[in-house]
Amino acid sequence: MELIKKIFIQLGQLDRRFIFLLIGLSVLIPLLKPDWINIPIKTTTNSKIVFEELNNLKEGDKVLVSFEYGASTKPEIHPMSVAVLQHLFSNGVKVYTVPLWPEGLMMAKYAIEEVVSSDLFNIEEHVDYVSLPYKAGGEIIIRGIATDMRSIFTQDVNNVLLTEIPMMTGINNITDFDFVFDLSAGVPGNAEWVQFACDEYKIPLSSGCTSIMVTDAIPYVESGQIRGILAGMPGAAEYEQMVFEYLNNDTYNKYLNKEAVIVPGKATSRMSAQSIAHLLMVIFIVFGNISYYLIRKRKI
Amino acid sequence: MKRQLAYFLVIFIGFLTLLGHFINYSPLNNFIDNDATQWFDIISGFAAFLGVINLLQLHLNKIANKRDNWRYSIITLAGFTIMIIFGFIYNGSSVAMGPHLKEDGSAFYWMFQNIYLPLGATMFALLAFFVASASYRAFKIRNFEATLLLISGVFLMIGRVPIGQLIPWWMALEIYICLFFALIANRFEEKKKMLFSLVICIIVLPLITYFLNLHNLSIFKIPELQEWIMDVPATAGSRAIMIGIALGTIAQSYRIITGRERSILGD
Amino acid sequence: MYEIIGIWCVVLLTLSIFSYLYGDNPFYKSAEHVFVGVSAGYIFTITFWDTIWPNLFGRLLPSYVKAGFEFDVSYIFPLVLGVFMLFRLSKKYDWLSRISIAYIVGMMAGLKFYVFLNSNLLTQIKSSTVNFSGTYLSIINEVIILIGVISGLVYFFFSKGHTGVVGKVSRIGVYFLMIKFGASFGFAVMGRISLLIGRFEELIEFSKPEYYYSTPVILVLMIVGLSFWSFKNNTNINKNN
Amino acid sequence: MNQYVKYIFFPTVILLVYFFFPFSIFLSGNETTFICVVLLCFVVEYFIEKAKNGEEIYMRPIAAIKAMEEAVGRATEMGKPVLYVPGISSLDQIDTISGLTILGHVAGMTAEYDASLHVPVCVPIVMETAKETCKESYLKKGRPDLYRDDMVHYVTDDQFAYAAGVNGIMLREKPAAVFFQGKFYAESLILAETGNSIGAIQIAGTGSSSQIPFFVTACDYTLIGEEFYAASAYLSGSPEMLGSIKGQDYVKVGCMMLILIVFISSILNGYGIIDFDIVSLFRTNIIK
């Protein structure tokens, strides 16, 4: 008994480098051997709301997708971007991408490229999607999109004049869109979209964001200012799965190439690493508490 | 006089931007909506020159005086100079200066992609380790507040990942019982009594729950509990903080635009 | 060729930053200083080409800088204010920079006053309405939220001491705040682990033969370097003692 | 009598003008906000005036604010520097401005105690403002000789590069007191953990609600949300500022009442007892 106590107390005073090492391994091993652990994914309400909202869009509806993340948060947000784009294209929705972070430009490009190269849909630039360039200014740009988009954007990323792009006709401000989807990892992000554009002009807004932002965004979700939310990597995995099932079951979808192979996304495979790391941390916390309890009792 | 001028400007611009939201005069509205903040960006762009001069001064000083770690300052200066050269002098791609910053193939972009990005992303990823050691230290059942912190933190951690869905109802119940006892452990005078009642609870409560057919309640499903925590008490908390922050910001802004908060302009 | 050099750079810098977990060491120090220098240069360049060039000169010299804007004479003001900012460098006229700062501070205070009142305060008050389409359970939840918000606000009272009734209510407020903090913490754990996954995936990718096994090679070299360094450091410390 | 004229008559007149002015010089659609602005200003102004006239104002003690002076004192005793981190945002966040006002007070303390102050800054324009603030504080305490221009210096604009730089400063200079006051994002934990590992007294304050938990767990004292904005008024101790805090408290009471009214009326509306949807009052339109 004394021995066990001693061990626990020792555990409580572990060098933090040891914790670092274990955390590192708990992430590394599932990534190296993904087939060792396989855990099913269950969807949460907020992700379902997002899916339903996007699913209710009709053919030809216009959706503004805003990219506010960069390379560092790519693992969390990028799978969402791809899944959302797939979902939109599978319903024949027109997509307009706008980056509000400098790196968002590249992320939008990668996401579109990934969807195009998957050969699932026959989509063409300027017919099914338009990519707008990055403009510095954050919330000013959101404000500008809300009031007068053409004063901010005159060309798309490939320097084609917007006046020459057919799918840009009739789009002058935010009220010309049917939906805004925001992929954000910070500021400007979904809060700015609520404050500066969507709330005021009553344009439905959904968001996918990093997990750290969720608690800040939840009041907006609760009040319906943001319709559903995809929360971090699990949110991405859930959405990926929903889209994957949707594409597989929807055999009559005219937008889908029948020959193409639908592959599940990346977030799903990352979830096992995530699960193990979380489990390890919980175990740390439990051990930490036991040793804390024992030490405290000794002092008394 | 010089100082008065600055205050006058703060008060004037402050009230202009505040009241401009209510006045029906489109140049003013347009100024507030777009130009005001654009101007800010431009002014801070000019200030960037000052930043650069300061950086150069600091590191050149360090090198000249051979202060601690002065050798590393050479690295900083080298990195800075290379970026400036690639940004303004040497292009390396076919597009014009300016757009070349984001062009795959320019020297600047190469530096961005291979030096800047990985460094930023790795610094960010270091947080995974720090958050582990911080939670190891912070999540202790010290008092009731700390316990709440722990409960909501831990339930979120496991409830959000697929592993949380694998936890059966009885295990969730046992976790609750253990937590409860951890919280009230201090109230017991005799250790044996506590252990005894803990064991009884651990054995009896699940049986009672099972026979009363209560085990399907969503409180025993960690993912659902987690969602509730997030939707209800955490929402209340964040709403209170949000309103508090809004009030604080408004009051602070008010003090600024009425010229009362003076230390900002050096007074 | 450049691609392979780039990848080796990525791996070297990534591992150098991770070496901080062992402790402050020359690898980390070098990476840190590279980062500071490169990022300062990067941001400066980006600020010039993305903000000053198009937004200022694009409006003042539209025929020369084609950024899609028309000539706008009011942009003389930010130019002047920006130049005032540079007067910081002069001892005699540095008070001019105060005017630029005064503009910024005043403008932002006025703007934030309105934005926070509108979007945070009023909308949050508005959202405390009860939604009757739900079940009784949801009404109970709404009541809990109401209690949480009110007691949380009581905690922030400054002109009343936390004693008596105020003290008790504010204590309940603290409980709600703690739950919110715990939730944020839990989410942060999740987010940060995902970032780590991203970095590790890249390192795993770069240990493939087509990149000449860059990750394992650099890792081994770094471990050797680190052990040599800490050995040397240890002997140094012993001498000093 | 005079007071009634001021604080009842004037707002009424303003509101009457606003609602009944014949020409459309006011935008329609954000009346609620306007009423709020007017009420808010006059309530705060009333309490400021009262405080100026010499009314005693009780302020609940905030541990973090009390600890600031102790921390500076301890750093002086140990002969180690005080590190002040004003966040990573520019002046477009009120947090940064609040952080700088607190810096003014902390610089005053270091001037008094003759402790060395070190302020690494992330944004050039904040650096210039911080320099100005520090210089004036040293001047006001009568110690302009102690002020050095390199006290405040620029690191870099990038979030994590700045975090790495400040990390380095902490590891190598080993400050005894660390202040984090301003707008912080993800780097908060890197900074606070490093500060914790070198054993410094850490006092944090921020309005970024998602970063508060990390400061709460890793720092010795934390100013949470609204407390942070009020800190500068607390530190200044002038009746004007304290009066405004008291006014803010009354605005808070008003908000709580409003929440209750909204809540109750929506219940009554839900049961069909009254036929009035209070939400329709909250038209929070901005400019079209």
Q: Do D128 and C146 touch (CB under 8 A)?
A: no
Residue D1: per-residue pLDDT: 57
Q: Do A215 and D186 touch (CB under 8 A)?
A: no
Interface of A with C (CB under 8 A): 17, 20, 23-24, 27-28, 31-32, 72-76, 102, 134, 136, 153-155, 194-195, 199, 210-212, 214-215, 219, 222-225, 231-234, 270, 273-274, 277-278, 281
Residue B266: per-residue pLDDT: 60
Q: Which residues contact A280 (CB under 8 A, 6 or more apart)?
A: A22, A23, A26
Mean pLDDT lowest among A119-128, C66-75, C105-114, C170-179? C66-75
Q: What homologous superfamily does CATH list for A45-264? A: MTH777-like (3.40.50.10160)
Question: What is the layout of strands, in order, in the sheet containing D221-224?
Answer: D152-154, D117-121, D82-87, D177-183, D201-206, D221-224
Q: Which of D124, B38, A103 is nearest to C55 (CA)?
A: B38
Cα–Cα distance measured from residue C69 to residue B42, given in angstroms and rounded to the nearest whole number: 15
Q: Do D210 and A216 touch (CB under 8 A)?
A: yes
Asked if B118 reaches chain D (Cβ–Cβ under 8 Å), the answer is no
For CA atoms B131, B137, B139, B144, the dihedral sign is negative
Residue D285: per-residue pLDDT: 42
- Contacting C residues, span 69-98, partner chain B, CB-CB under 8 Å: 74-75, 77-79, 81-83, 85-86, 88-89, 95, 98
Residue whose pair of structure tokens reads 């309103």 in the numeric block = B243
Q: Do D92 and C108 touch (CB under 8 A)?
A: yes
Read off the pLDDT of each residue in C83-96 and give the average, rounded to a whole number: 90
The pair phi, psi for residue A205, each rounded to 5°, is: -135, 135
- In this prediction, residue C104 has a pLDDT band, given cuts at 50, 70 and 90, of very high
Count of helices and strands (H, E) across chain B: 11, 0
Residue C240: per-residue pLDDT: 44
Q: Which of D46, A74, D133 is nearest to B124 (CA)?
A: A74
Residue D288: per-residue pLDDT: 29
Please check the confidence at residue D239 and state whether its pLDDT lies above 80: yes
DSSP code string of D157-207: SSHHHHHHHHHHHHHHH--SEEEEEEE--THHHHHHHHHHHTT-EEEEEES
Mean pLDDT lowest among B181-190, B210-219, C211-220, D243-252? B181-190
Please check the confidence at residue C120 and state whether its pLDDT lies above 90: no
Residue C235: per-residue pLDDT: 64
Please check the confidence at residue B18 and state whether its pLDDT lies above 80: yes
B51 contacts on D by Cβ (under 8 Å):
123-124, 127, 154, 157
- Where does D63-236 sit in CATH, by number? 3.40.50
Share of chain A above pLDDT 90, in %: 33
Do C148 and B233 meet the contact criterion of CB atoms below 8 Å apart? yes
Instruction: Please work out, in degrees rounded to the nearest 5, the angle formed at the alpha carbon of residue B42 by the alpha carbons of B41 and B48.
Output: 90
- Contacting C residues, span 81-110, partner chain A, CB-CB under 8 Å: none
Asked if C224 reaches chain B (Cβ–Cβ under 8 Å), the answer is no
Residue D286: per-residue pLDDT: 38
- In this prediction, residue D86 has a pLDDT band, given cuts at 50, 70 and 90, of very high
Cα–Cα distance measured from residue A202 to residue A106, given in angstroms and rounded to the nearest whole number: 29
Most confident residue range from A229-233, B177-181, C231-235, D199-203: D199-203
Please check the confidence at residue C50 and state whether its pLDDT lies above 50: yes
End-to-end alpha carbon distance in chain B: 13
Residue D219: per-residue pLDDT: 94
Cα–Cα distance measured from residue C167 to residue C157, given in angstroms and rounded to the nearest whole number: 10
Read off the pLDDT of each residue in C110-132 and give the average, rounded to a whole number: 83
User: Mind telling me how many Å the CA of A194 is from chain B's nearest CA?
Assistant: 15
Q: Do C200 and A199 touch (CB under 8 A)?
A: no
Cα–Cα distance measured from residue B29 to residue C116, given in angstroms and rounded to the nearest whole number: 18
The gap from C-alpha C27 to its chain's centroid, in whole angstroms, comes to: 24
Which whole-number Å values give the CA distances from A88 to A49, A50, A220, A240, in the listed order? 15, 12, 24, 13
Asked if D280 reaches chain A (Cβ–Cβ under 8 Å), the answer is no
Tell which of C190, C202, C205 to mutate to test the A interface (max A CBs under 10 Å): C190
Structure tokens at D191: 């900074």
Read off the pLDDT of each residue in D20-42 and give the average, rounded to a whole number: 84
Residue C238: per-residue pLDDT: 47
Question: Shortest CB distance from A270 goes to which of C22, C118, C197?
Answer: C197
Q: pLDDT tens across D106-135, in order? A: 999 999 999 999 999 999 999 999 998 999
C127 contacts on A by Cβ (under 8 Å):
219, 222-225
Q: Do B120 and D161 touch (CB under 8 A)?
A: yes
Q: Which residues contact B27 (CB under 8 A, 6 or more apart)?
A: none
Average pLDDT value over all residues in chain B:
88
Q: Do C191 and A270 touch (CB under 8 A)?
A: no
Q: Which residues contact A19 (CB under 8 A, 6 or more apart)?
A: A284, B129, B132, B133, B136
Residue D152: per-residue pLDDT: 95
- Contacting D residues, span 166-185, partner chain A, CB-CB under 8 Å: 185
A141 contacts on B by Cβ (under 8 Å):
none
- Contacting B residues, span 196-225, partner chain C, CB-CB under 8 Å: none
User: Mind telling me how many Å the CA of C221 is from chain D's nearest CA?
Assistant: 23
- In this prediction, residue D244 has a pLDDT band, given cuts at 50, 70 and 90, of very high
- In this prediction, residue B267 has a pLDDT band, given cuts at 50, 70 and 90, of low
Structure tokens at D50: 């009262």
Q: Do A213 and D210 touch (CB under 8 A)?
A: yes
Half-sphere exposure of D140 (CA within 13 A, CB side): 17
Please check the confidence at residue A154 and state whether its pLDDT lies above 70: yes
User: Mind telling me how many Å the CA of D247 is from chain A's nearest CA?
Assistant: 26
Q: Do D91 and C104 touch (CB under 8 A)?
A: yes
Half-sphere exposure of B213 (CA within 13 A, CB side): 0
Cα–Cα distance measured from residue D86 to residue A266, given in angstroms and rounded to the nearest whole number: 38
> What type of residue is A126?
H
Q: pLDDT tens across A235-282, in order? A: 999 999 999 888 888 767 778 887 777 777 778 778 888 888 999 999
Q: Do A274 and C197 touch (CB under 8 A)?
A: yes
Residue D283: per-residue pLDDT: 53
The pair phi, psi for residue A136, each rounded to 5°, is: -75, 145
Q: Do B51 and D127 touch (CB under 8 A)?
A: yes
DSSP SS3 for D118:
strand
Other beta carbons within 10 Å of D179: 30
Read off the pLDDT of each residue in B169-174 and give the average, rounded to a whole number: 87
Q: Do A187 and D185 touch (CB under 8 A)?
A: yes
Whole-angstrom Cα Rg for chain D: 23
Q: Which residue would you say has higher pLDDT here, D40 or C136?
A: D40
Other beta carbons within 10 Å of C216: 12
Average pLDDT value over all residues in chain D:
89
Question: What is the layout of strands, in order, in the sheet containing A94-99?
Answer: A129-131, A94-99, A62-68, A179-184, A205-209, A229-231
Mean pLDDT lowest among A229-243, C39-53, D9-23, D80-94? D9-23
Asked if B21 reaches chain A (Cβ–Cβ under 8 Å), the answer is no
C161 contacts on D by Cβ (under 8 Å):
58, 60
Read off the pLDDT of each residue in B23-49 and give the average, rounded to a whole number: 88
Do C118 and D40 meet the contact criterion of CB atoms below 8 Å apart? no
Q: Do D190 and B242 touch (CB under 8 A)?
A: no
Residue of chain D with shortest Cα separation from C192: D186
- Ordered by start, the domain boundaries in chain A are 2-38+272-299, 45-264
Please check the confidence at residue D265 and state whether its pLDDT lies above 80: yes
- Dihedral angle over CA of A48, A270, A181, A125, nearest 10: -120
Q: pLDDT tens across B214-240, in order? A: 888 878 888 888 888 988 999 899 899
Asked if B146 reaches chain D (Cβ–Cβ under 8 Å), the answer is no
Mean pLDDT lowest among A252-266, B116-130, C54-68, C135-149? A252-266
The pair phi, psi for residue D222, each rounded to 5°, is: -135, 135
Q: Which of A138, A130, A160 is nearest to A62 (CA)?
A: A130
Question: What is this model's ipTM?
Answer: 0.88
> What type of residue is B110?
W
Q: Do C124 and A210 touch (CB under 8 A)?
A: no
Residue D221: per-residue pLDDT: 95
DSSP SS3 for A177:
coil
Cα–Cα distance measured from residue A288 to residue B8, given in angstroms and rounded to the nearest whole number: 57
Cα–Cα distance measured from residue A206 to residue D124, given in angstroms and rounded to the nearest whole number: 35
Read off the pLDDT of each residue in D41-61 and give the average, rounded to a whole number: 90
**For the packed helices A232-249 and A45-55, what is the interaxial angle rounded to 10 degrees?**
50
Q: Do C179 and B14 touch (CB under 8 A)?
A: no
Structure tokens at A211: 């997990």
Please report all neighbours of A, defined by 3+ CB atom pairs within 8 A: B, C, D
Please check the confidence at residue B71 and state whether its pLDDT lies above 90: yes
Do B92 and B105 meet the contact criterion of CB atoms below 8 Å apart? yes
Q: Which residues contact D286 (CB under 8 A, 6 or more apart)?
A: A200, B21, C118, D30
pTM score of the predicted model = 0.89
Residue C239: per-residue pLDDT: 47
Structure tokens at D30: 């954000």
For CA atoms A97, A101, A102, A107, the dihedral sign is negative
C28 contacts on B by Cβ (under 8 Å):
none
Q: Which of A102, C54, D165 is nearest to B59 (CA)?
A: D165
DSSP SS3 for D87:
strand
**DSSP alpha helix (H) spans, B65-220:** 70-84, 107-111, 117-138, 144-159, 169-184, 191-211
Read off the pLDDT of each residue in D269-275 and give the average, rounded to a whole number: 77
